Amino acid sequence: MKTLLGTLLLTVTSLSAFDYALKPVRVTPDVHCFFGKPEIMDKTNNGNIVNSCYIDAGEGYVVVDTGPSYAYAESAYKEMKKIKSLPVKLVINTHIHDDHWLGNGFFTQSGVSVVGSDDFLHNVNVQEATRMQNTISPAAYKGTVSTLPTEIISETTRKKVGNQDIELKIIPRTAHSTKDLVVYLPKSGVLFAGDLVFNDRLPSVKGGNINGWITTLEELESMGALHIIGGHGRNTEKNSSKMTHEYLTQMRSEIRLAIDSGLGIDETIKKVQMAEYRKIKLYDSMQSGNVEASYRVLEWE
């Protein structure tokens, strides 16, 4: 019996030996978040570039985005249990980009329900290698299995978990992704905006729609949330969407002017530099691609 128990413990330990050394940050009395680094994913940060948040619902936690790997999700939950040893009652995925949901399997193995939009059914192929699998270290990725949400929703839904009323709002247009989902806590006025909101680094427009994104940000800002927590960046104040909104709006204006002047896509990429944003992290990695992706949308207006 001792030998069997020892083998089981060794198996569990070896599955999740990698520790991300995560530290939770208190946002409100009932919300803690793990804030990722403003970097491109690589074998040094191992995908710790994304925000993952825990909502204290009294009887358990609700997790908003599970991060880039099984080990990440395990590391985060281990730290949250030090604050309050609660079970996880529900997991929510804000969108289909894999840095936000590859930790799902850590929770589903215990029977926890994961909610996500039907975009997962249409635009995720679990048979394909993930970006993380190809980018982060094998030790950090170990144990990770592409695990889709177990509960698919296609319209705005409300959940009651413990003492929390939770609104899951499906964005009805392509914005950052083809179908973004935001989470709102009416009681505390906290809005989890996923990758609709970036700060500390430039957003990525590739795969999105600049017009839909700007319209969506205007809708979210009109909700009057006291805290807006994005998918990347540490600013959680009610004005945390300002940088993303202003950046996208200015870029749209400059691209429209370039198109009206008869400039092609290559000329526009060179012209629309937006030098005041050079100080923002990942400018060199993102700016040209953002202009290109936005031009391809705006040229058809």
Token pair listed for 97: 């980009």
Residue 85, pLDDT score: 98
Task: Please give the pLDDT value at position 15.
Answer: 53
pTM: 0.94
- Interatomic CA distance for residues 265 and 258, integer angstroms: 9
**What is the rounded average pLDDT of the residues 72-97?**
98
Summarised one tens digit per residue, pLDDT across range 172-198 is: 999 999 999 999 999 999 999 999 999
Give backbone dihedrals phi and psi of 208, rounded to 5 degrees, phi first: -110, -165
Mean pLDDT (the chain) is 94
> pLDDT tens-digit profile of 223-269?
999 999 999 999 999 999 999 999 999 999 999 999 999 999 999 99
Which residues make Cβ contacts (< 8 Å) with residue 17, sequence separation at least 6?
Answer: 71, 139, 142
Compute the distance between CA of residue 34 and CA of residue 36 in angstroms, rounded to an integer: 7
* pLDDT in the model for residue 142: 96
The ranges assigned to domains in the chain are 17-240
Quote the DSSP letter at residue 28. Answer: E
Name which of 76, 300, 99, 84 is nearest 194 in CA terms: 99
pLDDT cut 70: percent of the chain above it: 95
For the segment 122-140, what is each residue's pLDDT rounded down to a tens digit?
999 999 999 999 999 999 9
pLDDT at 208: 98
The pLDDT, as a whole number, for residue 12 is 42
CATH of 17-240, one of 3.40.50.300, 3.30.465.10, 3.60.15.10, 3.50.50.60: 3.60.15.10
- Place 52 in a pLDDT band, splitting at 50, 70 and 90: very high
